[in-house]
Amino acid sequence: GRIAALTQQQKPSLSPLQLELNRLTKQISLIAIGLGLVFFVSAIFFVHYPVAQSFIFALGMIVAFIPEGLLPTVTLSLAQGVQRMAKKHALLKDLNSVETLGETTVICSDKTGTLTQNQMTVDHIWTPAHSFTVTGQGFVNNGQIQLDGKPIKYGTDADLDLLIRLVAFNNDTEVEPSKGSARPKILGTPTEASLVILAQKSGIDT
């Protein structure tokens, strides 16, 4: 529950790009105001403009120093990044996430259910005499045991038969077939469930 509490208490923070833009904006503003003051003083003491005219002149210089095209340029750059990432099947809803994702070096993610389906599958069997291939994925009897590309059933190979009996009878897990597109329900561990499915693929009624 500690991880869940930390994620719920997490407050929205500025992205690295937003922090950099804020810092750049402050720097540009300070430089523009400083130069505006220099022009204001110079207009009064060197050019001998009236104070009001010198103020308007300095204000115009400050406005001119501010890059008005900065925001549209950044927005267009991020939009182009979103389009390029969309071509790689990465959907981004927030433009600021483009730059943040570009700086990502490590992704910490829950493996089960996110990167995997928590469905173990036996795909190879090795006996002293042969190497068998098992087709099909998940907790569904949708494959078969093959030797050199040919289907093999229980009762064909003595070593394979012994192995199948061991995994079928020394097993406390039950796999209930799914209805429609629903996932099969297992009563036990995923590892033993994969062995139950293996026994079913060999032709044994579990």
Active site positions, annotated: 110
The C-alpha torsion from 8 through 9 and 12 to 16, rounded to 10°, is -100
* Euclidean distance between CA atoms 201 and 146, whole angstroms: 10
Q: How many CB atoms lie within 10 A of CB 54?
A: 19
List, in order, residues 6 or more apart from 66 with CB less than 8 Å away.
Answer: 28, 29, 32
Helix (H, G, I), strand (E, B) or coil at 112: strand
Determine the distance from the C-alpha atom of residue 70 to the mean position of all C-alpha atoms in its chain, rounded to a whole number: 30
In the 8-state DSSP scheme, what is residue 177? P
Q: How does DSSP assign 131-172, residue by residue?
A: EEEE---SSS----EEETTEEE-TTS-HHHHHHHHHHHHS--
List, in order, residues 6 or more apart from 168 with CB less than 8 Å away.
Answer: 195, 196, 199, 204, 206
The conformational region for residue 149 under phi > 0 = left, psi -120 to 50 = alpha, else beta, is left
